[in-house]
């Protein structure tokens, strides 16, 4: 540990500041090129100063040093053959970051941008998110730089089988339980589960979540992240005398999280005026029809541009950045990390934005978040707002071990309850540590405390 605790105990503020500063400095030296990982840790570190002021024993236990170093990082070669018989090699990852509260839990991402920094940032965020759900799950994440775009179904299957052949060694219902993420949905989870079962010589229902309900998936899992984001946002809006009803909403992306966020926002009376994919966005001030978006996305290789074929009043704009120049009251960024920067934030604020809830992981840059908060825009951070997906994944794990299935209505009721509780925990933690109304600080502290206490209980190791 870098800080001399005994000398500075009589100045808790200095002790906390020095500790956070020193550990972050060391983290930068050890992980110099991991931009996204450093961005995610920095945001948490900034929030935790008041915790170390009140609870210096966490410093004695080296909690920050330990919580920022993954339990283990697994990287491996994934070799597969395309439909023409050409051999390809991709890199696979699984970050088993922290298992203090339960088995590692977090999705698998297939995207060409996947690298160690992105995997570590996602797994690190997952620790706190999973803790916030109140469920017994630790934090992990995995994926590959494999690009599923323009690949046939058979190529995706062969890639996934090769990926799982190596990864299966490290998984288990009480050890590490992956799910989907960008580029990985029910179909890919099916191929993973199939290959895992083949390797292990039998059917094991509890190793993956986000499965098809036909063979052990939970009803409501597909909808959970998007719905949960809207439930969380609705709580935040309600306490500030606002609502989705009658509001104009922009949702970025048009994948799993975006689609169901749109669906729920519309159900609550909002008009979703725009959504996107990585090539461009569609805009219709009369409202986007979510059923058409779903149909387009179910078609193989279809882009959001196709929407105009079905709704001629909609406009299509090439490139995604300008989606944030449309006037609206609520924004739900549901596509990817760092998709909304401070320039976009300034434009949105100028155009009358009232609230923003992050459906994607870390979609807003640190500068954008600071600007939203400075200008009094309601801000719901990802690790709280999008925790509904993993919360229902944990419910899927419970159903699998009990060998029973809950109805979609039961799952949705439980999801609503979880999102309300997360909102309450964030509000209370922010208030207790002197940052009333700041959900970023509240989420970070509430998520951190449970994990830190478990680390203390488990001893220094
Ligand atoms: P999907 O792959 O289903 O969808 C991602 C969507 O975002 C696609 O429409 C994609 O378009 C679009 N997109 C990607 N990059 C950009 C960009 N730069 N600008 C605009 N659109 C873009 O992924 P998910 O919906 O599952 O995940 C979205 C986010 O939510 C991620 O940050 C993920 O980590 C997070 N998340 C997901 C959970 C889940 O349960 N699935 C749980 C919690 C968080 P294109 O098709 O062109 O690539």
- Residue located via tokens 């419970």: 398
Does the C-beta of 335 come closer than 6 Å to ligand 1? yes
Model confidence at 8, in pLDDT bands (50, 70, 90)?
Answer: low
Question: What pLDDT, on a 0 to 100 scale, did the predictor assign at position 298?
Answer: 81
Q: What is the pLDDT of residues 320-345, one digit of tens each?
A: 989 999 999 999 999 999 999 999 99
CA of 181 to the centre of ligand 1 (A): 7
Does the C-beta of 334 come closer than 6 Å to ligand 1? yes
CB-based contact 453:437 (threshold 8 Å): no
Active site residue 54: no
Cβ atoms < 10 Å from Cβ of 75: 13
**Average pLDDT over every residue of 114-137:** 98
**Average pLDDT over every residue of 446-458:** 98
CB-based contact 179:388 (threshold 8 Å): no
Q: What is the DSSP letter of 172?
A: B
Does the C-beta of 320 come closer than 6 Å to ligand 1? yes
Q: What is the pLDDT of residues 345-368, one digit of tens each?
A: 999 999 999 999 999 999 999 999
| The domains spanning 72-205 and 223-385 adopt the same CATH topology | yes
Positive/negative CA dihedral, 339, 342, 343, 344: positive
Question: What pLDDT, on a 0 to 100 scale, did the predictor assign at position 301?
Answer: 76
Question: What pLDDT, on a 0 to 100 scale, did the predictor assign at position 302?
Answer: 87
Question: What pLDDT, on a 0 to 100 scale, did the predictor assign at position 24?
Answer: 98
What dotted CATH number matches 72-205? 3.40.50.10860
Structural fold of domain 223-385: Rossmann fold (3.40.50)
Burial of residue 21 (number of CB atoms within 10 Å: 0-12, 13-18, 19+) = middle
Model confidence at 2, in pLDDT bands (50, 70, 90)?
Answer: very low
Between CA 224 and CA 392 the distance in angstroms is: 7
Q: What percent of the chain is predicted at pLDDT more than 90?
A: 96
* Phi/psi at 378 (5° precision): -65, 130
* Phi/psi at 302 (5° precision): -75, 145
Q: Which of 120, 141, 151, 383 is catalytic?
A: 141
Question: What pLDDT, on a 0 to 100 scale, did the predictor assign at position 1?
Answer: 47
CA of 460 to the centre of ligand 1 (A): 37
The residues that bridge with 142 in the sheet, in sequence order, are: 94, 108
Please state the domain extents for the chain.
Answer: 5-68, 72-205, 223-385
Ranges of H-type helices in 55-145? 57-60, 63-67, 116-132
- Rg (C-alpha) for the chain, rounded Å, is 22
Q: What is the pLDDT of residues 31-86, one digit of tens each?
A: 999 999 999 999 999 999 999 999 999 999 999 999 999 999 999 999 999 999 99
Binning the chain into helix, strand and coil, the percentages to the nearest 5 are 50, 15, 30
Ligand 1: which of 181, 183, 318, 326 to mutate, judged by most atoms within 8 Å of the beta carbon? 181
CB-based contact 74:94 (threshold 8 Å): yes
CB-based contact 124:139 (threshold 8 Å): yes
Does the C-beta of 339 come closer than 6 Å to ligand 1? yes
> Residue 281's Cα: distance from chain center in Å?
22
Tokens of 132: 């916030």
Does the C-beta of 393 come closer than 6 Å to ligand 1? no
How is 327-360 classified by DSSP, letter by letter? --SEEEE-S-TT-B-HHHHHHHHHTT--EEE--S
Question: What pLDDT, on a 0 to 100 scale, did the predictor assign at position 299?
Answer: 74
Between CA 229 and CA 359 the distance in angstroms is: 6
Q: What is the pLDDT of residues 420-447, one digit of tens each?
A: 999 999 999 999 999 999 999 999 999 9
Q: What is the pLDDT of residues 226-261, one digit of tens each?
A: 999 999 999 999 999 999 999 999 999 999 999 999
Between CA 365 and CA 193 the distance in angstroms is: 35
Q: Is the pLDDT of residue 4 over 80?
A: no
* Phi/psi at 424 (5° precision): -65, -45
CA of 142 to the centre of ligand 1 (A): 15
Does the C-beta of 182 come closer than 6 Å to ligand 1? yes
CB-based contact 307:282 (threshold 8 Å): yes
Model confidence at 7, in pLDDT bands (50, 70, 90)?
Answer: low
- Residue located via tokens 């009140």: 54
CA of 448 to the centre of ligand 1 (A): 26
């Amino acid at each position: 540990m870098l800080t001399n605790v005994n000398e500075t105990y009589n100045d808790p503020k200095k002790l906390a500041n020095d500790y956070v500063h020193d550990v972050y400095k060391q983290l930068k030296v050890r992980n110099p090129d991991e931009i996204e990982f450093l961005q995610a840790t920095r945001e948490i570190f900034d929030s935790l100063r008041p915790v170390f002021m009140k609870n210096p024993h966490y410093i004695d236990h080296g909690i920050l040093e330990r919580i920022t170093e993954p339990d283990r990082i697994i990287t491996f070669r994934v070799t597969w053959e395309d439909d023409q018989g050409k051999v390809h090699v991709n890199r696979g990852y699984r970050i088993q970051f922290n298992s203090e509260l339960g088995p590692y839990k977090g999705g698998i991402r297939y995207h060409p941008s996947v690298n160690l920094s992105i995997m570590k940032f996602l797994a690190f965020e997952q620790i706190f998110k999973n803790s916030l759900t109140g469920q017994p799950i630790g934090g992990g994440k995995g994926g590959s730089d494999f690009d599923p775009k323009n690949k046939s179904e058979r190529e995706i299957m062969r890639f996934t089988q090769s990926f799982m052949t190596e990864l299966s060694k490290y998984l288990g219902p009480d050890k590490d339980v992956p799910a989907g993420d960008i580029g990985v949905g029910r179909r890919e989870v099916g191929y993973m589960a199939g290959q895992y079962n083949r390797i292990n010589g039998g059917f094991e229902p509890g190793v993956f979540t986000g499965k098809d309900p036909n063979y052990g998936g939970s009803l409501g899992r597909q909808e959970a992240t998007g719905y949960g984001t809207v439930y969380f946002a609705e709580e935040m809006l309600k306490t500030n005398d606002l609502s989705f009803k009658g509001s104009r909403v922009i949702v970025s992306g048009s994948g799993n999280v975006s689609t169901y966020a749109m669906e729920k926002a519309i159900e609550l009376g909002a008009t979703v005026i725009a959504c996107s994919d990585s090539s461009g966005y569609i805009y219709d001030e009369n409202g986007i029809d979510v059923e058409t978006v779903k149909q387009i996305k179910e078609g193989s290789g279809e882009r959001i541009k196709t929407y105009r074929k079905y709704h001629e009043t909609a406009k299509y704009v090439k490139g995604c950045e300008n989606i944030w120049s449309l006037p609206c009251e609520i924004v739900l960024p549901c596509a990817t990390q760092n998709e909304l920067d401070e320039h976009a934030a300034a434009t949105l604020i100028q155009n009358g934005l009232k609230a923003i809830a992050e459906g994607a992981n870390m979609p807003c840059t640190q500068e954008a978040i600071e600007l939203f908060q400075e200008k009094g825009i309601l801000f719901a951070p990802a690790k709280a707002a999008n925790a509904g997906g993993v919360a229902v994944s944990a419910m899927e794990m419970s159903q699998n071990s009990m060998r029973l299935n809950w109805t979609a209505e039961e799952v949705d009721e439980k999801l609503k309850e979880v999102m309300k509780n997360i909102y309450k925990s964030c509000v209370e933690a922010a208030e207790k540590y002197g940052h009333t109304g700041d959900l970023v600080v509240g989420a970070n502290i509430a998520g951190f405390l449970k994990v830190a206490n478990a680390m203390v209980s488990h001893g220094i190791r």
